[in-house]
Structure 1
Amino acid sequence: MSTTEQLPRQQFQATEHRVTFPGLVRSEWIKFWSVRSVVVTMVASFVAIIGIGVLTSFATRSALSSADGARAMAAQGFDGVGASLTGAQLGTLIVAAVGVIVIAGEFSTGMIRTSVVTAPRRLGVLGAKAVVLAVNVAVVTGVAVLVAFLLGQAVLNTRDLGSSIGDDGVVRALLGNVAMLVGISLAGLGVGALLRNSAGGICTVVAAIFVLPLLLMPIPDSWGGDRIREFWFNNTIQNATTVSQSDSYLSAGVGFGMFVVWVAVLLGLGALALRSRDV
C-alpha cells in the first residue's frame, strides 16, 4: 500500500467575466488622472479661467475710473459679468486640448490597442472617455467659473458696478460658460478620435474656434454670411454665455440646441472612425 494518498483532483469551474460600462468608466477615470499632461492642462484651465477673469475685472475697473473710459464702456454696452468670465474663452482652447489628448495620446503610445481588446466593440471605450471627460471638465471649470465671477464682481463692486448671482441672466451666463467648456472638450475628443494625432487634433480645434470665425467675417450678408456666422460651431452658444444678448447670434435656447448638435456630430464622426478603422 502506498504511503502517499491520492488527493482528489479539485474541479475548477470557469468563471465568466464581462466588461461592463461602469468598469470602463472606472478604468478611464484612473487613466485620466494618471496622465501628467492631462493633469497639468486641467490645472492650467482652472488657473486661466480665474486669473484672466480677475485681471480683466481690474482692467475694466481702471478704465471706468476716468470719464472717457466710462463713456467708452457705456457705448460698447458694459457687461461686468462678461468681464469676469473672459478667462472662459481661453479655457475653451485648453479643455479642447484635453479632449484631444485623452484619446489621441493613446494612439501615439499604442495604449488604444489594449483598450479595444478589452472592449472589442470600441464604442464603449469612447463613451466611457466622454463621461469621464465631461464630468471632470464640468466640475473643474464649474468651480473656476464661479470663483472667477465672485472675485471679478468683488473687484467691480468697488465702483458699484458688480452684479449678484441673483440678477437676471447671471445664472444662465454661468451655466452657459460651463456648458460651452464641456461641449468643446467633447468636440476635441471627437476630433482626436477622428484624426488620431494630438498635434493635428489640437490645431484643428483651435482653427475651428479662433481662426475660421475671423475668416467668415468678410462674407457679405447677401451671400448668407450672417446665417453662416450664426450657425458656426462656437458662435451658436454665445448668447447663452452672456447676460446681455446680441442680435448677431442665435437666441440662447436655439443656440444651445445647435451647439449640442455640433458636438454630437463631431463625437459621432469620431465614433465612426474608431469603429471602422484599424488601430
Structure 2
Amino acid sequence: MSATTAQPAQYRPAEHRVTFAGLVRSEWIKFWSVRSIVVTMVVSFVAVVGIGVLTSFATRALFADVAGAQAMAAQGFDGVGASLTGAQMGTLIVAAVGVIVIAGEFSTGMIRTSVVTAPRRLGVIAAKAVVLAVNVAVVTGVAVLLAFLLGQAVLDTRGLGASLGDEGVGRALLGNVAMLVGVALAGLGVGALLRNAAGGICTVVAAIFVVPLLLLPIPQSWGGDHVRELWFSNTYLNATTVSQSESYLSAGLGFGVFLVWVAVLLGLGALALRSRDV
C-alpha cells in the first residue's frame, strides 16, 4: 500500500501591472519629495512676481506726471511687458527644474529603479513630462497673473495700467505661461540627453541667453534674419508681449516653431533614455 504525499502548492507572486497613471502618481511624489526641486519652484514663483513688480515700480519712476506717461502710452509703450519681465528670468529657473527632474536621478542612481519598474522607459519620461508640465503651468500661471495684477496697479498711478480685457493682454499672459512650460520640458529633454545637471543647466542657459547674442553679427546676406527668427529662444517673443515686433516671427507662427523645438528636444531625450544604458 503506497501513501500519497501531498505536494506543496507553488507560491506565485501576484502580478502588478504598471500603468501610466501609476507612473504619473510615482513621479508626482518624487517631484515634491526632492528639496532642490521644491526650493527652485518657490524661487521661480518669487522671481516672476518680484521682478515684475520691481520693474513696474522702476518704470513708473521714469514718468514724473500722468501727462508724460499717457504720451508714452500713445506711442505704443507696453506696460504689460514691464510687469511680466520676471517671466524671462523665470525661464532659467524652470529650465533648471526640468533638467534636475531627470538628471538628478542619473546622479543618484534612482533612474535604474525607474526603468526597472517601466522597462520600456518611454513611460517614465512621459510621466515626468506630464508632472513637470502640470506643476510648472499651475505655479507660474498664478505667478504671471499676480505679477500682471500687481504691476498694472503700480503703473495705473501714472495712467499706464492695462486690464485683462484689453487687446493682446490675454495672449501675452497665456503666452508667458506656455513659454515657461515649454522651456521646462525642453530642459527635461536636455537633461535626459546629457544626464548631468550642471551640464544640462549650462546648455539651456546658453541656448536662451548666449546663443541669441552670438547670432546678431550674422549678416543678412547669409540668412542671419531667418536664423535669428527661428532660433529657440526667439521664436516665442511675439507670443509673450502685447506689442508685436517685425524682427521676429508672428505670435502664432513663432509659437508653433517653438513647440517643434520642444518636441524635438523631448524626442531626442526619450530616444537617449530608451537606447542607452543607465
Normalised by the shorter chain, which TM-score bucket? Answer: over 0.9
Q: Hey, what does 1:4 align to over in structure 2?
A: none
The one-letter amino acid of 2:49's match is I
Kept in 2: contact 1:64–1:73 (CA 8 A) = no
Question: 1:10, CA displacement in angstroms?
Answer: 7.5
SS of equivalent to 1:15: coil
List 4+ stretches of structure 1 deviating above 4 A.
Answer: 7-14, 69-77
Residues in 2 aligned to 1:217 and 1:227: alpha-carbon distance in whole angstroms: 11
Q: Hey, what does 1:44 align to over in structure 2?
A: 43
Residues in 2 aligned to 1:72 and 1:159: alpha-carbon distance in whole angstroms: 11
Question: 1:16, CA displacement in angstroms?
Answer: 2.2
The answer for unaligned runs of 5 or more in structure 2 is 1-5
The one-letter amino acid of 1:252's match is A
Report the TM-score, using the length of structure 1 for normalisation. 0.93
The one-letter amino acid of 2:28's match is W
Residues in 2 aligned to 1:53 and 1:122: alpha-carbon distance in whole angstroms: 40
For this pair of structures, how many residues does the alignment match? 273
Residues in 1 aligned to 2:220 and 2:125: alpha-carbon distance in whole angstroms: 39
Flag the 1:114–1:86 CA change in 2: closer, same or farther, 3 A. same
Q: Hey, what does 1:3 align to over in structure 2?
A: none
Residues in 2 aligned to 1:221 and 1:71: alpha-carbon distance in whole angstroms: 37
Report the TM-score, using the length of structure 2 for normalisation. 0.93
Residues in 2 aligned to 1:204 and 1:263: alpha-carbon distance in whole angstroms: 14
Question: 1:27, CA displacement in angstroms?
Answer: 0.1
Q: Hey, what does 1:106 align to over in structure 2?
A: 105
Q: Hey, what does 2:3 align to over in structure 1?
A: none
SS of equivalent to 2:254: helix
Flag the 1:120–1:274 CA change in 2: closer, same or farther, 3 A. same
Identity of aligned residues (%): 83
Residues in 2 aligned to 1:220 and 1:113: alpha-carbon distance in whole angstroms: 48
Residues in 2 aligned to 1:223 and 1:127: alpha-carbon distance in whole angstroms: 39
Q: Hey, what does 2:186 align to over in structure 1?
A: 187
Q: Hey, what does 2:20 align to over in structure 1?
A: 21
The one-letter amino acid of 1:170's match is V
Residues in 2 aligned to 1:25 and 1:65: alpha-carbon distance in whole angstroms: 53
Residues in 1 aligned to 2:11 and 2:193: alpha-carbon distance in whole angstroms: 44
The answer for unaligned runs of 5 or more in structure 1 is 1-6
Q: Hey, what does 1:84 align to over in structure 2?
A: 83
The one-letter amino acid of 1:118's match is T
SS of equivalent to 1:214: helix
RMSD value, Cα: 2.1
Residues in 2 aligned to 1:219 and 1:14: alpha-carbon distance in whole angstroms: 64
The one-letter amino acid of 2:177's match is V
SS of equivalent to 1:191: helix
